[in-house]
Amino acid sequence: MVPISLSLSLSCLGWWTSGLILVLCFLKLICLLVRRQSLARAMDSFPGPPTHWFFGHARELQQTGSLDKMLSWAQQFPYAHQLWVGQFLGFLNIYDPDYAKAVYSRGDPKALDVYNFFLQWIGKGLLLLHGPKWFQHRRLLTPGFHHDSLKSHLSVFAACTHAMLDKWEEKARDGKSFDICYDVGHMTLNTLMQCSFGKRDGDLSQRDDHYHRTVATLTLLVQERIDSFQYHNDFIYWLTPHGRRFLRACQVAHNHTAQVIKERKAALQDKEEQEKIKNQKNLDILDILLSVRDEKEIKLPDADIQAEVDTFMFAGHDTTRSGLSWVLYCMALYPEHQHRCRKEVREILGDQKSFQWEDLGKMTYLTMCVKEAFRLYPPVPQVYRQLSQPVSFIDGRSLPAGSLISLNIYALHRNSSVWPNPEVFDPMRFSRDDVSHRHPYAYMPFSAGPRNCIGQKFAMAEIKVALALCLLRFELVPDFSQLPIKFPQLVLNSKNGIHLYLKPLGLSAEKGLCQE
């Protein structure tokens, strides 16, 4: 009798469990349908492209390439249009300066429906925080990007760039083109490690290099998850091979950043290092995080330190890698602008053996070329917000609080109502006269408003130094047999890399610039 009773009990338990799962699934479906109805009602006054009954717009974006398809929709629907990833996640996709100003001049939080996909990787650092804690961390970390700190980094920018260019001289000897993206990323990570995370002179270790490769895996997996609505549910995603691969890659990234923190903590135990820190006017990011105390002399929690290091380690090098790679591609593609930039750099340098900080401000034409490259190839092509309060747009339409906004920076920068002949590379768009007459939210490579990129001045200074030194040593020529295929992977990447021919200019005397 006991086995039969036990069997009946297990059978009942199984039925109850199955019933509970069905009820929970039904309730979840009801919640999704209610939210879908709410989002759809909010965007009712905004037309959009036809949606698939199941995929929304996701399948069309995947089949035709999201950048080109978004651009065609932006030309079809002025200001904005509905964008659905599946049937339950809907955004108002905007690409008009006035619409961008209405949202990004405020401090609305990131859309957690998208940015929560980053949470397992970078934690609640500056990218994902909101409210008083975000403000506290932003204020805390801002001194790490102070003007004086950037000036002190100039020699590091130059030394890391020269290490990359030395490798390129070796690669250029056989006269073949090669993909520049990996080496640029290696250089920007090396620069960041030395400027912001306490690494001393020298190239990256094998562990650092492994981290650099892991970031490429993580960005690809997060982008795939954003685009694949069936992966939006955590429970489902962690059961898939993609989800398990993502968790393994996160562990690699966390091990790397934890080791960086551990090594710096150990170094700060040295009395000589402590004195050095006391006498420094400006600390780097990691030293700020490790030394800060609140009014009760309590240190920043380890989880907060880890999250900020994970955030800056990714965002501080991968966006710069993307930006510099596309800038170099533009220089190769438009030789007349490349030659003019090179001439400007040589004139600024004159008889000097190294660049001075003030020289960066004199690189007016080179700066305009960098900005124009960022217009055509923004490092982060799309960003998302969730409205914390209602918003009214210039054309009288509005959205209630809770609505989701997608800002397509790629389409904004190619909006023909703002940028005449938007596909043409024209650095003069960023001359002082042109900029003074342009809408302040027409150009947003580093976002805008109170949540703009904290490291934009750092990135611009690094890119200007790297580009100037590259132009002094090489002539850049595109490989027309392997033109890049634009591909959003959180940052703007190329599916097949960016292949260039590099022709050494033979200016051996200039190889040691800025390395003192």
pLDDT in tens, 98-142: 999 999 999 999 999 999 999 999 999 999 999 999 999 999 999
Model confidence at 516, pLDDT cuts 50, 70, 90, reads very low
Do β-strands 499-504 and 491-494 pair in parallel, antiparallel, or remain unpaired?
Answer: unpaired
For tokens 């960003």, name the residue.
383
Span of 150-159, 272-281, 503-512 with lowest mean pLDDT: 503-512
What confidence score (pLDDT) does residue 514 get? 44
Under 8 Å between Cβ of 391 and 103: yes
pLDDT above 60: residue 277: yes
- Cα–Cα distance for residue pair 322/328, rounded to 1 Å: 10
| Whether pLDDT at 10 is above 70 | no
DSSP-derived pairing of the beta strands 80-85 and 89-94: antiparallel
Pairwise CA distance, residues 42 & 400, whole Å: 7
Please spell the DSSP secondary structure of 83-130, one letter per residue.
Answer: EEETTTEEEEEE--HHHHHHHHTTTPPB-HHHHGGGHHHH-SSTTT--
Binding residues for heme, as ranges, are 453
- Whether residue 21 lies inside any domain: the answer is no
Which structural domain, as residue segments, surrounds residue 248? Answer: 34-504
Detail the residues annotated as belonging to a binding site. Answer: 453
Q: What are the tens digits of pLDDT across the range 300-331?
A: 899 999 999 999 999 999 999 999 999 999 99
Which residues 6+ apart lie within 8 Å of 232 measured at CB? Answer: 85, 86, 88, 89, 113, 225
Q: What is the pLDDT of residue 337?
A: 98
- pLDDT tens readout for residues 358-409: 999 999 999 999 999 999 999 999 999 999 999 999 999 999 999 999 999 9
Answer whether residue 11 is part of any domain. Answer: no
Q: How many domains does the chain have?
A: 1
Cα dist. 389→35, 385, 406 in Å?
17, 12, 16
Can you read off the two tokens belonging to residue 84? 């659905």
Task: Tell me the C-alpha distance between 305 and 308, whole Å.
Answer: 5
Greatest CA separation for the chain: 100
Q: Is residue 27 domain-resident?
A: no
Does residue 26 sit within a domain?
no
Q: Is residue 6 part of a domain?
A: no
Q: H-type helices in 406-499, by residue range? A: 409-412, 432-436, 456-473
Closest CA to 121 of 339, 318, 397, 394: 318
Beta carbons of 262 and 286 less than 8 angstroms apart: no
pTM of the model: 0.92
pLDDT at 515 exceeding the cut of 50: no
Question: Do residues 89 and 232 touch, judged by C-beta distance below 8 A?
Answer: yes
Report d(CA 431, CA 445) in Å as an integer: 17
CATH code for position 388? 1.10.630.10
Task: Give yes or no for a contact between 469 and 513, defined as CB atoms under 8 angstroms apart.
Answer: yes
Asked if 162 and 150 count as a contact pair (C-beta separation under 8 A), the reply is no
Mean per-residue pLDDT over the chain, rounded: 90
CA atoms within 13 A on the CB side of 460: 23
Q: Is residue 265 part of a domain?
A: yes
> Is 2 within a domain?
no
| Residue 3 belongs to a domain | no
The dihedral over CA atoms of 233, 239, 240, 245, expressed in degrees to the nearest 10, equals: 100
